[in-house]
């Protein structure tokens, strides 16, 4: 029952060697013959050795330095992600964690430089938003080769060597949006549109597929139209929506999977369709709040950025501490459904927790340094 955990000393004793050698062998540091190293590794496994982290932190009091490569705070989403990371880093009782925020102003502008700098400065880990997977994949690979673990947040970068990722479950998002849409529309006949960023991005395609599948099976009275791609351009979204309204007079609802919901709403308003359409959006940002409150948007699928940030930090930290032995490195979060009824809860929580975090930093100023870093612009 109360078996004492095995220590370096135990391994050394059973092999008749010194703990120095055991230590070197376990951390494959030079100065150990291949044979003894193999023996050490074997008995370590046999005895079920797990390092005592308290002793480790006590002895080598180095701080983890982790880089957070994300988009600048034009949208509140990434501010919340970063707040979640800060929050969780501040809750680390034992160890020092240094956060370096490398932010870039827009998609595809400075993300490679951020990676280069992080790798060059030899950080211990990276949390990143792999916006353009194909462009970032080689950088993630490079970091992995430099033994720097990378955790992806909000979007996955498969086959890149990343050690883990945390994101919103796309199937759950698409399906709950479809179910809500169906219930909201009741027995009405008509067609339903979906806008997304780019069908080439796995997550967005999955959301669309889940939405379409759920709507087909549960609400056959509604027809899903082909996806509308807006490529994050407001003009594009507005223009395509206008055409959509003309071509589909039976349109009953729209599901906006991107953050570009404002131009969609504007197009609907300009076409005098706002009353007739049931609109479900994604995320929760200031401009959207008024639209939800007025009832123009029936519901929004909230992607919980703060929790994503918290989880990403925990995952990376566990990996750094544990050497990757931990639990499954894929976290899919359930999105929240936000409507008029419960929106205040989320808004208030956003502001409230920032205060909490500030309090935490004041309480223990010396322990957790956090250095801001701006990717581009001087």
The reply to whether 2 sits near a second copy by the rule CB under 8 A is: yes
Number of Cβ atoms within 10 Å of the Cβ of 121: 12
Tell me the β-bridge partners of 281: 300
Residues 95-134 that bind a second copy (CB under 8 A): 95
The reply to whether 321 sits near DNA by the rule CB under 7 A is: no
* CB of 218 or CB of 273, closer to a second copy: 218
DSSP SS3 for 357? helix
Q: Which stretch binds a second copy (CB under 8 A): 13-21, 151-159, 179-187, 237-245?
A: 179-187
* Of 94, 128, 99, 93, residue with least CA distance to 113: 128
Residues 45-74 that bind DNA (CB under 7 A): 49, 51-52, 55-56, 58-62
Binding mask 274-313 for a second copy (x = CB under 8 A): ---------------------x--xx--------------
Report the side by side order of strands in the sheet with 97-104.
Answer: 330-333, 164-168, 150-153, 125-128, 64-71, 97-104, 370-374
* Of 291, 293, 376, 363, residue with least CA distance to 91: 363
Q: Which stretch binds a second copy (CB under 8 A): 18-26, 182-190, 244-252, 264-272?
A: 182-190
Are the C-beta atoms of 181 and 344 separated by less than 8 Å?
no
The reply to whether 19 sits near a second copy by the rule CB under 8 A is: no
The reply to whether 58 sits near a second copy by the rule CB under 8 A is: yes
DSSP SS3 for 71? strand
Q: Which stretch binds a second copy (CB under 8 A): 70-78, 130-138, 245-253, 320-328?
A: 320-328
Q: Which of 38, 55, 200, 290 binds a second copy (CB under 8 A)?
A: 55
Residues 203-242 that bind DNA (CB under 7 A): none
End-to-end CA distance of the chain: 59
Task: Answer with the entry of DNA, a second copy, none that 373 interacts with (C-beta below 5 to 8 A by kind).
Answer: none
* Of 110, 100, 168, residue with least CA distance to 139: 110
Q: Which of 2, 3, 30, 328 binds DNA (CB under 7 A)?
A: 30
Calculate the alpha carbon distances from 207 to 152, 175, 194 in Å. Answer: 19, 8, 10
**Three-state secondary structure readout of 255-314:** EECCCCHHHHHHHHHHCCCCCCCEEEEECCCHHHHHHHHHCCEEEEEECCHHHHHHHHHH
Number of Cβ atoms within 10 Å of the Cβ of 125: 23
The reply to whether 245 sits near DNA by the rule CB under 7 A is: no
The reply to whether 243 sits near a second copy by the rule CB under 8 A is: no
Q: How far apart are CA 68 and CA 103, in angstroms?
A: 8
CB of 91 to DNA, least distance (A): 19
Task: Answer with the entry of a second copy, DNA, none that 377 interacts with (C-beta below 5 to 8 A by kind).
Answer: none
Give me the residue label for tokens 């938003």: 129
Calculate the alpha carbon distances from 108 to 70, 130, 133, 216 in Å. Answer: 11, 10, 10, 36
Q: Which stretch binds a second copy (CB under 8 A): 135-143, 154-162, 165-173, 220-228?
A: 165-173
CB of 30 to a second copy, least distance (A): 28
Q: Which stretch binds a second copy (CB under 8 A): 30-38, 137-145, 263-271, 333-341?
A: 333-341
Give me the residue label for tokens 């206008």: 242
Residues at the site binding a second copy, with contacts judged by CB under 8 A: 1-5, 48, 50, 52-55, 57-58, 91, 93-95, 169, 171-172, 175-180, 183-184, 186, 214, 218, 295, 298-299, 318, 321-322, 325, 327-328, 332, 334, 336-337, 339-342, 345-346, 349, 356, 359-360, 363-367, 369
Residues at the site binding DNA, with contacts judged by CB under 7 A: 4-5, 7-9, 16-21, 23-24, 26-27, 30-37, 49, 51-52, 55-56, 58-62
């Amino acid at each position: 029952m109360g078996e004492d955990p095995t220590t370096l000393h135990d391994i050394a004793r059973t092999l008749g060697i010194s703990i120095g050698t055991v230590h070197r062998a376990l951390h494959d540091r030079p100065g150990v013959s291949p044979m003894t190293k193999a023996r050490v590794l074997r008995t370590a496994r046999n005895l079920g050795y797990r390092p005592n982290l308290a002793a480790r932190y006590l002895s080598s009091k180095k701080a983890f330095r982790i880089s957070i490569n994300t988009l600048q705070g034009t949208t509140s989403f990434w501010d919340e992600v970063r707040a979640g990371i800060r929050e969780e880093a501040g809750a680390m009782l034992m160890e020092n964690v240094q956060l370096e925020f490398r932010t870039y102003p827009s998609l595809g502008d400075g993300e490679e430089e951020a990676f280069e700098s992080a790798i060059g400065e030899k950080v211990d880990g990276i949390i990143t938003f792999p916006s353009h997977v194909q462009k970032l994949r080689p950088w993630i690979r490079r970091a992995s080769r430099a033994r720097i673990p990378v955790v992806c947040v909000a979007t996955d970068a498969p086959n890149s060597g990343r050690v883990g990722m945390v994101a919103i479950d796309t199937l759950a998002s698409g399906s709950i949006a479809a179910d809500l849409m169906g219930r909201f529309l009741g027995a009405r006949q008509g067609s339903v549109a979906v806008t997304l960023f780019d069908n080439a991005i796995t997550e967005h395609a999955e959301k669309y597929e889940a939405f379409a599948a759920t709507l087909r099976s549960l609400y056959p009275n509604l027809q899903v139209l082909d996806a509308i791609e807006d490529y994050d351009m407001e003009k594009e979204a507005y223009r395509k929506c206008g055409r959509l309204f003309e071509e589909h007079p039976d349109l009953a609802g729209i599901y906006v999977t991107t953050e570009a919901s404002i131009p969609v709403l504007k197009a609907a308003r300009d076409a005098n369709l706002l009353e007739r359409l049931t609109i479900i959006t994604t995320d929760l940002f200031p401009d959207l709040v008024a639209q939800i409150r007025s009832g123009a948007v029936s519901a929004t699928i909230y992607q919980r950025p703060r929790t994503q940030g918290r989880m990403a930090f925990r995952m990376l930290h566990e990996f750094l501490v544990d050497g990757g032995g931990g639990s499954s490195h894929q976290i899919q979060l359930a999105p929240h459904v936000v409507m008029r009824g419960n929106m205040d809860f989320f808004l208030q929580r956003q502001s409230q927790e920032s205060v909490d975090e500030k309090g935490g930093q004041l309480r223990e100023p010396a322990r957790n340094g956090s250095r801001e870093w701006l990717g581009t612009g001087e």
